[in-house]
A and B are shown apart, each in its own frame.
Chain A
Amino acid sequence: MKIYVVSAEAGAHSIAGSAASGFPSTRKRRFSFDPTAPFSIAMALLLAVLVLLPLGWLAVTSLTDDSHAHFTLGHYRTLFLDREFLEPFWVTLWTSAAVGVLCVLFAAPMAWLVSRTDLPAKRLLRMLILASFATPPFLGAFAWVLLGGPNAGLVNKAYYALFHLRAFDASPLVNIFSAWGIVFVTALYTFPYVFTFVATSLDHIPSDLEEASAILGAPSWRTAIDVTLPLAMPALLAGFLVAFLQSMTLFGPAAILALPASIDTMTTKIWSLFQFPPKLGLAAAASLPLLVITVVLLRAQAAIMGRRGYSVLGGKTTGQRLIRMGAWKIVALAPFAFVLACSVLLPYGVLAWTAFMKNYSAPLAGNFTFDNWRFVFLEFSQTRLALTNTFVLGVSAATAGTIVATTVAYLSLRKLVWGHRPLSFLATAPVAIPGIVLAVGLFLAYTHPPLVLYGTLAIIFLAYLTKEMPVGYQQVSSSLKSVHPELEDAGRIFGATRLRALFDITAPLIRNGVIATWLFIFIGSIRELSATILLFTAKTKTVSVTMFDLRESNDWGPIAVLSLTMLAITFAMIVAIQFFTDRRNA
């Protein structure tokens, strides 16, 4: 389970500003040229450029006219006075709030059931929740178009058939092309973050208070509401905020589900401002509110979570007393069945079905075909280009990200140099920059001399590297923290240099953690859409963008094939992560 704790936790840490304190540092030496100092400076510069350059351009562009010569508030005036922007802004806010509420409403009881009761099949349930976490939200949105289209969607067709209704005459069970459609799909794939938040915090709440309540005769449900719920409140609030932010900044579900219903959100609006000729001033101005809201909410979340720091690797405090549910078990499984069917089983099923059908909404007879597979892997000239680009980007972002994250984590956890605090702050700061906002900033920063990167894979690489840095940093530092500096100190007492101690002692101990970090960044990179959609050109298309293009012409068969391919790669990586993290703990 710890696998997905990390990304949600990254948020909590960065705003606390103190990204993890680690162990006390080794005694300061009187003389020393520390070989790590130049490294540290280089890393700080690199991180500063990565983060500050795009943000600086964003601010400047939003406040100047197109020549960047004159100050103007015109872009903000348009943004805050024009209905064209006010409406998407409002839609974005209320749908995000709805996603937050929905996630908490489902996550709280489900986390409680997993943490406090003898619910059956917990391992399977956790695996399925992990699967829904691993599913890119835009992919879920594709699947839900096939399931929840009001007339041809398979869920609605089943519903019509069951109740002897006719499509078009009766109102559908689900209308996925609506603002509530975005809420539903986004909630399905944001839910795992909130669940993990709450489940982790429940695991860490000592059970003595609950036991006291039980001894005094309160029934289980009373204890849950009067004792456990207040204790879990900070985690619930924090979960709400994380869900809100996720929903506010996602591009995929909004573009796939809302545009057909003539609804715009902020992300689809920023994207359309980027259509040629791009209105960069407005796009920058439209991005900044998203950035400000994210920073404010993350700070609020940090304040709520206080200094509790529900850490990643901790075990349970004491053995929890599990409530026996008896026959209620069946009822308790219902919310799990519903959520997991909607987020994993039905979407994967419909993608597998569509991949082998000529027409996804037609009956099986005479409908089976391998054409979609043949098209994608033998005819479609984008497949090789997109797979190669995606793979190159994934490998390079993961490798560079792991190197930078490991170096920064080592330097700052061991407090080797002055300035380790800003270093760790910079490494975790991108968590507050939504992907699409980062992309606007990168576009502005790297379409100008001296560094023109637009049109190359490099600009997308920078986006992935920056975006994944907090996750990578969090992951490496959690495994570094498990290695006490004493071990290195012992080596140094016996005369090893710092570097030698690092390579001979620490490196082997954190190796598996580092490999897991690499895989994490790789997964995050190959599924990226929100930033890529603004940065790609024909030569630098990725699989996610290619799928988005296919959606615009309703080519569902090829989309399904590419979706399954992407899921297969992702799950192969997850199995690898499990393998390496399990070995780390063994």
Chain B
Amino acid sequence: MKTHWKITLTALTIAVAAALPAAAQNPDVAAAEKEGKVVWYTSVDVKVAESIAQEFRQKYPKIEVEVERSGSERVFQRENEEHQSGIKHADLVNTSDSTHFITWKKQGMLAKYVPAGVENMPKEYRDPDGYYATWRATLCVMGYNTNIVPPDQVPKGYEDLLQPKWKGKLTKAHPSYSGTSLTGTYAIVKKLGWGYFEKLAKMDVQQLQSTTATPKSIASGERAVMVDGNEYNMFIEIKKKSPVKIIYPVEGTPFVSSPVAVFKDAPHPHAARLFADFIFSVPVQQYLVDSGGVRSVVPGVNDPAGRTPLKDIKVIPDDPEGLLPKVDEIKKRYAALFGGGK
């Protein structure tokens, strides 16, 4: 029954598409190929980003993908700087700080575009007006190096890290650089207050920038425990047989959703839409989950065996509306304690 219905629908779509060749929601492959290029600003780990780009090139060899990878906050700044200077370079964007999308939408910088399949996603993961949707999600986890930390010593949560024995052994990402770290830092502030970070600042923490960097730091053994890092990078490290394990803190694990949006001024509008459709499609999402370690909110995509299901983890939901007015204060107070940023 269902299949019949689908076939009918497809036939109908083709008929409509034929009648209205410029239909807004159907990316025009020929036009995209004529544009020949798509520029993607993203904060996802550079190797994950390039592997997605590689998949896309294989399907559409006539379209070049240019990946510009940096931390979420850096991506936000670069885009704003360029936008203000009248430079139109980025076609679509992905960061792990949902407040960016609220801001850009308000400023009218985004194009209204709902990639195929997004309409089936749960409501909380997509903009009701169709400007952006959660392309990937991850948890902002703790983690440790199993060669350095004996099993009976493993910290259970954030509070444990203030014990003197962890001095000089911690690493953390920077909320002025990383959206995941910003989301996580905000969640910890809400739970434990700034007093927690004032004490943590005295623990001789290795201050890195990206939450993709902290898992690599503990994998190399440079530090024993990471205060925050991407769950997906931990899965990647574990797959590479690095001596690391994830900790889901007892206080709760911050959930971080990373939306994707197409820019209104995209220099390659068709290619951007084609690319958006591609990266939201079920096979690509499944690939992203399997090899990139992220969590997907697209229906029909499943976690591989061995990963703790989301429902079994005490998650602190992200709260972009609540975070937005606090972003500058968090960055400033954090930098006063840990340096860097502004």
Query: In the assembled complex, how far is the CB of residue A72 from the closest CB belonging to chain B, in whole angstroms?
Result: 20
The winner among A260, A273, A277, A454 for most chain B CB atoms within 10 A is: A260
A468 to B208, CA, bound (A): 33
Q: For residues 230 through 257 of chain B, which have their beta carbon under 8 Å from a beta carbon of chain A?
A: 240, 242
- Contact call B87/A554, Cβ cutoff below 8 A: no
- Contact call B89/A538, Cβ cutoff below 8 A: yes
Query: Which residue of B41, B67, B76, B342 contacts A381 across the interface (Cβ within 8 Å)?
Result: B67
A337 to B5, CA, bound (A): 78
A360 to B209, CA, bound (A): 20
Query: In the assembled complex, how far is the CB of residue B122 from the closest CB belonging to chain A, in whole angstroms?
Result: 30
- Contact call A549/B340, Cβ cutoff below 8 A: no
Q: For residues 185 through 238 of chain B, which have their beta carbon under 8 Å from a beta carbon of chain A?
A: 201, 205-210, 212-213, 216-217, 219-224
User: A558 to chain B: which residues have CB within 8 Å?
Assistant: 46
A165 to B77, CA, bound (A): 45
- Contact call A262/B210, Cβ cutoff below 8 A: no
Total interface residues in chain A, CB < 8 Å: 50
Query: Which residue of B39, B80, B340 contacts A262 across the interface (Cβ within 8 Å)?
Result: B340
The winner among B51, B68, B176 for most chain A CB atoms within 10 A is: B68
Query: Which residue of B65, B69, B77, B168 contacts A275 across the interface (Cβ within 8 Å)?
Result: B77
- Contact call B82/A375, Cβ cutoff below 8 A: no
User: A153 to chain B: which residues have CB within 8 Å?
Assistant: 222
- Contact call B222/A150, Cβ cutoff below 8 A: yes
Task: Decide if A152 is an interface residue (CB 8 Å cutoff).
Answer: yes
Task: Decide if A210 is an interface residue (CB 8 Å cutoff).
Answer: no
The winner among A149, A268, A385, A558 for most chain B CB atoms within 10 A is: A149
User: B71 to chain A: which residues have CB within 8 Å?
Assistant: 552-553
Question: Which of chain B's residues has its CB closest to A172's CB?
Answer: B168
- Contact call A552/B342, Cβ cutoff below 8 A: no
- Contact call B46/A555, Cβ cutoff below 8 A: yes
A539 to B39, CA, bound (A): 10
A367 to B210, CA, bound (A): 24
- Contact call B89/A537, Cβ cutoff below 8 A: yes
Task: Decide if A276 is an interface residue (CB 8 Å cutoff).
Answer: yes
User: A149 to chain B: which residues have CB within 8 Å?
Assistant: 220, 222
- Contact call A550/B66, Cβ cutoff below 8 A: no
- Contact call A553/B81, Cβ cutoff below 8 A: no
Query: In the assembled complex, how far is the CB of residue A74 from the closest CB belonging to chain B, in whole angstroms?
Result: 17
A260 to B82, CA, bound (A): 28
Q: With contacts A260-B208, A380-B46, A539-B87 known, is A359 near B242, CB below 8 A?
A: yes
User: A84 to chain B: which residues have CB within 8 Å?
Assistant: 336
Query: In the assembled complex, how far is the CB of residue B293 from the closest CB belonging to chain A, in whole angstroms?
Result: 15
User: A455 to chain B: which residues have CB within 8 Å?
Assistant: 82, 85-87, 89
Task: Decide if A482 is an interface residue (CB 8 Å cutoff).
Answer: no
- Contact call A152/B68, Cβ cutoff below 8 A: no
One digit per residue, 1 when the CB lies within 8 angstroms of any chain B CB and 0 when it does not, for chain A 7-20 equals: 00000000000000
Question: Which of chain B's residues has its CB closest to A541's CB?
Answer: B68
Q: With contacts A359-B242, A552-B177 known, is A379 near B89, CB below 8 A?
A: no
- Contact call A381/B53, Cβ cutoff below 8 A: yes
User: A380 to chain B: which residues have CB within 8 Å?
Assistant: 46, 50, 67
Question: Which of chain A's residues has its CB closest to B211's CB?
Answer: A553
Query: Which residue of A262, A375, A379, A537 contacts B207 across the interface (Cβ within 8 Å)?
Result: A262
Task: Decide if B47 is an interface residue (CB 8 Å cutoff).
Answer: yes
A151 to B168, CA, bound (A): 10
Task: Decide if A358 is an interface residue (CB 8 Å cutoff).
Answer: yes
User: A556 to chain B: which residues have CB within 8 Å?
Assistant: 216
User: B89 to chain A: which residues have CB within 8 Å?
Assistant: 455, 537-539
User: A447 to chain B: which residues have CB within 8 Å?
Assistant: 85
Q: For residues 74 through 92 of chain B, which have their beta carbon under 8 Å from a beta carbon of chain A?
A: 74, 76-78, 80-82, 84-87, 89-90
One digit per residue, 1 when the CB lies within 8 angstroms of any chain A CB and 0 when it does not, for chain B 12-48 equals: 0000000000000000000000000001010001110
Task: Decide if A259 is an interface residue (CB 8 Å cutoff).
Answer: yes
User: A275 to chain B: which residues have CB within 8 Å?
Assistant: 74, 77, 176, 341-342
Q: With contacts A539-B89, A552-B213 known, is A262 near B67, CB below 8 A?
A: no
Q: For residues 193 through 217 of chain A, which have their beta carbon under 8 Å from a beta carbon of chain B?
A: none
Q: With contacts A379-B54, A538-B90 known, is A260 near B78, CB below 8 A?
A: no
Question: Which of chain B's residues has its CB closest to A272's CB?
Answer: B342
One digit per residue, 1 when the CB lies within 8 angstroms of any chain B CB and 0 when it does not, for chain A 255-283 equals: 00001111110001000110111110000
Q: For residues 342 through 365 of chain A, which have their beta carbon under 8 Å from a beta carbon of chain B?
A: 358-362
User: B50 to chain A: which residues have CB within 8 Å?
Assistant: 375, 379-381
A555 to B217, CA, bound (A): 10
Query: In the assembled complex, how far is the CB of residue A264 from the closest CB belonging to chain B, in whole angstroms?
Result: 5
Question: Secondary structure at chain B's binding surface: helix, strand, loop or mixed?
Answer: mixed
- Contact call A552/B207, Cβ cutoff below 8 A: no
Query: Which residue of A278, A381, A554 contacts B65 across the interface (Cβ within 8 Å)?
Result: A381
Question: Secondary structure at chain A's binding surface: helix, strand, loop or mixed?
Answer: loop
User: B337 to chain A: which residues have CB within 8 Å?
Assistant: 262
Query: Which residue of A268, A385, A553 contacts B66 across the interface (Cβ within 8 Å)?
Result: A385
Query: Which residue of A151, A152, A263, A552 contacts B209 across the interface (Cβ within 8 Å)?
Result: A552
Task: Decide if A167 is an interface residue (CB 8 Å cutoff).
Answer: yes
- Contact call A359/B219, Cβ cutoff below 8 A: yes
Query: In the assembled complex, how far is the CB of residue A452 from the closest CB belonging to chain B, in whole angstroms?
Result: 7
Query: Which residue of A277, A379, A452, A552 contacts B85 across the interface (Cβ within 8 Å)?
Result: A452
Q: With contacts A167-B148, A276-B80, A359-B220 known, is A538 near B39, CB below 8 A?
A: yes
Task: Decide if B132 is an interface residue (CB 8 Å cutoff).
Answer: no
Query: In the assembled complex, how far is the CB of residue A167 from the closest CB belonging to chain B, in whole angstroms?
Result: 7
Question: Which of chain B's residues has its CB closest to A277's CB?
Answer: B80
Task: Decide if A177 is an interface residue (CB 8 Å cutoff).
Answer: yes
- Contact call B67/A168, Cβ cutoff below 8 A: no
Task: Decide if A382 is an interface residue (CB 8 Å cutoff).
Answer: yes
Query: In the assembled complex, how far is the CB of residue B66 from the closest CB belonging to chain A, in whole angstroms?
Result: 5
Query: In the assembled complex, how far is the CB of residue A223 from the closest CB belonging to chain B, in whole angstroms?
Result: 49
Query: In the assembled complex, how far is the CB of residue B294 from the closest CB belonging to chain A, in whole angstroms?
Result: 16
The winner among A273, A375, A549 for most chain B CB atoms within 10 A is: A549
User: B336 to chain A: which residues have CB within 8 Å?
Assistant: 84
Query: In the assembled complex, how far is the CB of residue A449 from the closest CB belonging to chain B, in whole angstroms?
Result: 11
A455 to B83, CA, bound (A): 10
One digit per residue, 1 when the CB lies within 8 angstroms of any chain B CB and 0 when it does not, for chain A 174-202 equals: 00010000000000000000000000000
One digit per residue, 1 when the CB lies within 8 angstroms of any chain B CB and 0 when it does not, for chain A 305-317 equals: 0000000000000
User: A264 to chain B: which residues have CB within 8 Å?
Assistant: 339-340
26 CB contacts below 8 A, A to B, read: A150-B222, A260-B206, A262-B338, A268-B340, A276-B81, A277-B80, A359-B242, A379-B53, A381-B53, A381-B66, A382-B68, A454-B87, A538-B39, A538-B82, A538-B90, A539-B87, A541-B68, A549-B69, A550-B46, A552-B70, A553-B45, A554-B216, A554-B217, A555-B46, A555-B216, A558-B46
Closest 9 CB pairs of A and B: A262-B339, A276-B77, A554-B213, A152-B222, A455-B87, A552-B209, A554-B216, A152-B220, A553-B210
Known: A261-B339, A382-B69, A455-B87. 11 other contacts (CB 8 A): A152-B221, A276-B81, A361-B221, A380-B67, A381-B67, A452-B85, A549-B69, A550-B46, A553-B69, A553-B71, A554-B208
**Residues of chain A at the chain B interface (Cβ within 8 Å):** 84, 149-153, 167-168, 177, 259-264, 268, 272-273, 275-279, 358-362, 375, 379-382, 385, 447, 452, 454-455, 537-539, 541, 549-550, 552-556, 558
**Residues of chain B at the chain A interface (Cβ within 8 Å):** 39, 41, 45-47, 50-51, 53-54, 64-71, 74, 76-78, 80-82, 84-87, 89-90, 148, 168-169, 176-177, 201, 205-210, 212-213, 216-217, 219-224, 240, 242, 336-342
